[in-house]
Amino acid sequence: MAATIECGSTCNENMKVLSHAVPLSLKIIAECPVTKARACDLLLPHSNVSTPVFMPVGTQGTLKGITVDQLNGLGCQICLGNTYHLGMRPGPQLIEKAKGLHGFMNWDKNLLTDSGGFQMVSLVELSEVTEEGVKFKSPYDGKVILLTPEKSISIQNSLGSDIMMQLDDVVSSTVTGPRVEEAMHRSIRWLDRCIAANKNPDKQNLFAIIQGGLNPELRKTCLDEMTKRNVPGFAIGGLSGGEEKDDFWRMVTLSTDHLPREKPRYLMGVGYAVDLVVCVALGCDMFDCVFPTRTARFGSALVPWGSVQLKHKQYAKDFQPIDPDCTCPTCKRHSRAYLHALFKSDTAAMHHVTIHNINYQLTLMRSVRRAIVEKRFPEFIRTFMKRMFPSRELYPGWAVDALASVNITLE
């Protein structure tokens, strides 16, 4: 029988939250004795997820430039869908008839859906925030739509995702002043409304999103309040929006210091290789970003030493694969010269590089996990940085400081 627990002080007096058995379990497999890194098994309704994990972003039920079968072939265990765009078209009713987004995509692994809140920033000219929700002017037909916490959860219930995100009040990470505090408190109130609106708590996991901008006191207030709620996991939101990296990493480590050990920690919008490795050291488990797929469309292939810009003339007669050590289908079959030529005449080039970039991200995180399990993560970080940067002088100062904060000194 579900137990009833009272909400915190920001919650409406009459509102109560039911604590259900959640369809998620987190088993900590190994913890780094030096940093805050950890390797976990996250059991979700459709399959197990090995963390740390990078989650590719499929905005409208597909990753641009890659098929579901190819994504599955790369060993992807979880990917993202976008509630705002899927809610606009094809719409939740149609997807629900297809047995949810899993059936619609023909994807038998896990799905995480965002809440639509990020569009408050990305479509700021088309949105207006009130306590009720956020009003959007549709970029498709110009109609005004009100997305409330209840509506966001209703759409995500129809999508049937394994992890749903609360609707939060999102402001750009570069915004300062009273708007940041207003958004933080509103996000707490909206979390309570999302919890109450979830019709499938025994099938779908609702994650809270920590807000507070770059203000440590606001972040701490949000952490204190949201961790009182009985939610299956937590996301660190409101970062990776153009703020200084020194501010970024300090907000990340502040958050992981105060998030419960027994629940997954999801750092939203992070996808650069250095950021992933550093933020694993700071205690994060899950990451997502459009970067690897977006940069592929511009001919940028991710490699352990940075990137290969395949459109550049120097690769016109280069018959090596993108990365000689990579085992992805693209590197097994095609040369840099072929891909260079293809970018001039065929969109298939984007497809090939997308496959490579997703494989790079997934392989990197598997290597990170293996290093944590084998108790050699500090050595892994030092080797990774040496390969990524030609000299010690080129190491980003923020990364050096962030790693030093968790007892890693870079040579």
Catalytic residues: 114, 288
Distance CA 102, CA 162 (A): 10
- Of 65, 73, 39, 53, give the one whose Cα is nearest residue 327: 73
Q: Of 171, 224, 167, 304, whose CA–CA distance to 8 is shortest? A: 224
* Closest alpha carbon to 411 in 400, 372, 402: 400
> Is-contact 64 296, C-beta < 8 A?
no
Q: Which residues contact 245 (CB under 8 A, 6 or more apart)?
A: 396, 398, 399
Helical ranges in 198-237 per DSSP H = 216-226
Dihedral pair phi/psi, residue 11, rounded to 5°: -85, 150
Cα Rg for the chain, rounded, in angstroms? 21
Query: Beta strand pairing status for 110-114 and 163-165?
Result: parallel
Two tokens at 112? 């995480």
Tell me the β-bridge partners of 165.
207
Locate the DSSP E strands across 249-392.
265-267, 286-288, 300-303, 306-309
Q: Which of 215, 218, 214, 281 has its CA nearest to residue 245?
A: 214
Residue 316 gets which letter from DSSP? T
